[in-house]
Structure 1
Amino acid sequence: MKRLVVLGGGESGVGTAILGKKEGFDVFVSDFGKIKEKYKDVLNKYEIRWEEEQHTEPLILNATVVMKSPGIPEKSPIVKKLFEKGIPVISEIEFASEFTKAKTIGITGSNGKTTTTMLTYHLLKEGGLNVGLGGNIGKSFAWQVAEENYEYYVLELSSFQLDGIIKYKPEIAIITNISPDHLDRYEYKYENYIESKFRITKNQTEEDYLIYDADDEAISGWLRQNKTNAKLIPFSLTQTFENGAFIKNETMDIIINNEEFEMKTAEVSLEGKHNLKNAMAATSVAQLMKIRKETIRESLSNFQGVEHRLEKVLKIQNVQYINDSKATNVNATFFALDSMTAPTVWIVGGVDKGNDYAELMPLVREKVKAIICLGIDNKKIVDAFGNVVDMMVEVDNMRDAVNTASHIAEKGDVVLLSPACASFDLFQNYEDRGKQFKAAVQNL
């Protein structure tokens, strides 16, 4: 009997275990941390053996195949031992894709991938397709393959998930953009991280499509030096194409295989230039899937956006509070500051992932009137911007951050939480950080 060992008992791990059991594998789940009660209940219900707070080597090193959760680095001792024994270590996406005939749309990028994934899913669902949503978002892909019967999946794929693919390929791939992120997992080499993102297209054939940001230096550079078999569909804010998506005269124009779609940019519900890019990428998919133009227009004008991503919380005394907690790197915060049109009180800070704040400098000079540092160690932010803004305050909890911001902000200003950092110093995750921000604003 083939033996599947799952490392990590979270959403992707439990989903993989259920699918493995259904497909006749002998399954064992091992988590070095604690497994949440709700997942233990599921594993017990399916009679899947599990352990927590340890990795028992004899029960792991006898695997036929190992599914490693994306959060576990390849440097971890147990993974190294598996590599030494030549046991394949794959991602949930790789494992699950073997057991479904569904076509997948895979979406990756340093920023914008969640919004693009949600918007693509929204367009296809509104267009009447039988479509599931998974990957880095919502219910695990493997779990859905085990229990649902979708014809299409829209999958948000992180670089960690792509690192664990061998044969998987999406019929349509999107790379929204690439900027330095998670470099601690890639030996601090940017080129390794770029290479990881491009794994999304490595198995694609000439029947498949790669939709990409033609304005992005890292993407263009890779495409100049490497080859993909997929048909290329570029999108851009500054260039025009015979085959691709672009903006001309305040109109989003998308031409694919001689089919043209046009829509005034003002009618797209998402705000900001970066969101026009996300909209162009998602609409390119909808056109490839032959969704009716009228449906695409309606869907683009009624899409609600993603929680914790430039989410308008409340307007109090004519000050707009915006929750952009999902901005966990500098590039995401660049987009946020770039789309601000009023003087901004900026709440920033957290766990720094090797950030370089220099690229934010022109935007901070132009738009930011005060900075509130919300982190345990704010030295880098203070050093970067201390001389640039009139006021800088350090706090160590969300309530103080929001209260301070409300005292500084004047009528017509914006208070923006866009941390540019991970959240683990003071919060469980970026969702917890965003929820605390919203609660503190509602309590003002």
Structure 2
Amino acid sequence: MAKKIAILGGGESGVGTAILAKKEGFKIFLSDKGKIKDKYKDVLKNLEIEWEELQHSEEKILNADVVMKSPGIPETTPLVLKLKDNNIPVISEIEFASEFTSAETIGITGSNGKTTTTKFIHHILKDGKISAGMAGNVGDSFARQVAENEFAWYVLELSSFQLDGIINFRPKIAVLTNITPDHLDRYEHSLEKYIASKFRITLNQTKADYFIYDADDKNISDWLKKNPIEAQKLPFSLEKKFENGAYLENEQIIVKINNTKFYMPTTDLSLQGKHNTKNAMAAATVAQLLRIRKQTIRESMENFQGVEHRLEKVLKINNVMYINDSKATNVNATFYALESMESATVWIVGGVDKGNVYSDLLPLVNEKVKAIICLGVDNAKITNAFGNCVDIMVETQSMDEAVKIAYKIAEKNEAVLLSPACASFDLFENYEDRGRQFKEAVRNL
């Protein structure tokens, strides 16, 4: 008899799971508490998959053998708790898709730098002529790609929410970029729980697998001291040196693995800044493990273009550079952005606060920021944190208004930086929408 799967959520991961489940002969019921986008409804109708929106028919869902839950639905939702009480496995799309592919996977997680590192690795693999798909939080869902393609490798960007729903998923290579407080609202405001969630990426790894991580990150080092892992460890660092791992020496990135050595001057990297040097170290370590030619790795790292909405230079107007860093949805990401600014900056900040602590930014704001433009429904925390640091602080309710005010304030050889340090759901659909609105407003000046 066909196995029954219930899918909660009709977005990219839900519909991707439906496509793969159909191919594998499951009996499917997809349910979304919100509205499903037309492009996804069309796919469901074409495949003749039973679905519903604006409700969850519990009876049907509780009748499933397995449930795939979209990452946006918290573990503490009453329906999810009820499923667990009934011993029905609740898994993520990553877990489901991994059962139906023999491809090896490279999993990338961390609070910041995930997307850049994922795209960086995929870019080098493609240049190295390795058959590789890219999925997870970027592009088409992993499940959909497993259903429609035959790749030898997958490069997967994984959020902690996706990792919470894995049981057997085991990446051949796991990368942990860093851990800073983020999404704590989903982890009972416990940093420990959030860290444990990130480390699930190495949960099923064995001695034959690799774990690449930032050795300068205190949260990571402390956790590893207390929790031994099976995988072979390959650290990267801007401060320490290793027998096996990546480090800096004379302004060069060195990657050493089992007596092979790769080096590249940091000045040749297409993306500058300390955090990008670390992303490059992680990517070069993966490339070395896959034995891609050193010359190919170097060329690939010289021409990698980076990610939209991440420190993306939009336009120079009257000698003022406008920079879109809408992807900075937490304080640590904004820290990197401000750290990389070389001129006085008009900073556009704000949105939905995920329990942010802004004190880390104070030295940088004092040093680099001449004016702050708040862009959120509730800006009280920002005005309290930085009110004494700058002479000009303005509250706005729309991107257009924020950019117009920035245009009036910014002078020659200065910069306007959108780096919100917050989620975007109060005034925008998501961070991409926020970034696009910023770029449009700048082009309309």
TM-score normalised by the chain length of structure 2: 0.99
Q: Deviations over 1:416-440 (max 9, x none)?
A: 0000001111111100000000001
Letter in 1 for 2:138: I
Matches within 5 A, 1:390-429: 390-429=391-430
- Residue equivalent to 1:440: 441
Does residue 315 of structure 1 match 2:310? no
- Residue equivalent to 2:187: 186
Q: Distance in 2 between matches of 1:188 and 1:145?
A: 35
Matches within 5 A, 1:34-433: 34-433=35-434
Deviation at residue 145 of structure 1 after TM alignment: 0.5
Q: Distance in 2 between matches of 1:8 and 1:73?
A: 12
Letter in 2 for 1:252: I
Letter in 1 for 2:117: T
Q: Distance in 1 between matches of 2:181 and 2:385?
A: 18
Letter in 2 for 1:50: W
SS of residue matched to 1:215: coil
Deviation at residue 406 of structure 1 after TM alignment: 1.0
SS of residue matched to 1:275: helix
Letter in 1 for 2:342: T
CA RMSD of aligned residues (A): 0.6
Deviation at residue 197 of structure 1 after TM alignment: 0.1
Q: Distance in 1 between matches of 2:254 and 2:341?
A: 25
Q: Distance in 1 between matches of 2:242 and 2:341?
A: 29
SS of residue matched to 1:425: coil
Q: Distance in 2 between matches of 1:13 and 1:427?
A: 23
- Residue equivalent to 1:24: 25
Letter in 2 for 1:203: N
Deviation at residue 77 of structure 1 after TM alignment: 1.8
Query: After the TM superposition, which segments of 4 or more aligned residues of structure 1 sit over 2 Å from their partners?
Result: none
Deviation at residue 21 of structure 1 after TM alignment: 1.1
Residue identity over aligned pairs, in percent, reads 69
User: Which blocks of at least 5 consecutive residues in structure 2 are unaligned?
Assistant: none
How many pairs are equivalent? 444
> Mean Cα displacement is larger for which, 77-86 or 107-116?
77-86
User: Which blocks of at least 5 consecutive residues in structure 1 are unaligned?
Assistant: none
Letter in 2 for 1:290: R
Deviation at residue 224 of structure 1 after TM alignment: 0.5
Deviation at residue 122 of structure 1 after TM alignment: 0.2
SS of residue matched to 2:439: helix
Deviation at residue 126 of structure 1 after TM alignment: 0.7
Q: Deviations over 1:296-322 (max 9, x none)?
A: 111101011000000000011111100
Q: Deviations over 1:166-217 (max 9, x none)?
A: 0101000000000000011101100000000000001000000000000001
SS of residue matched to 1:334: helix
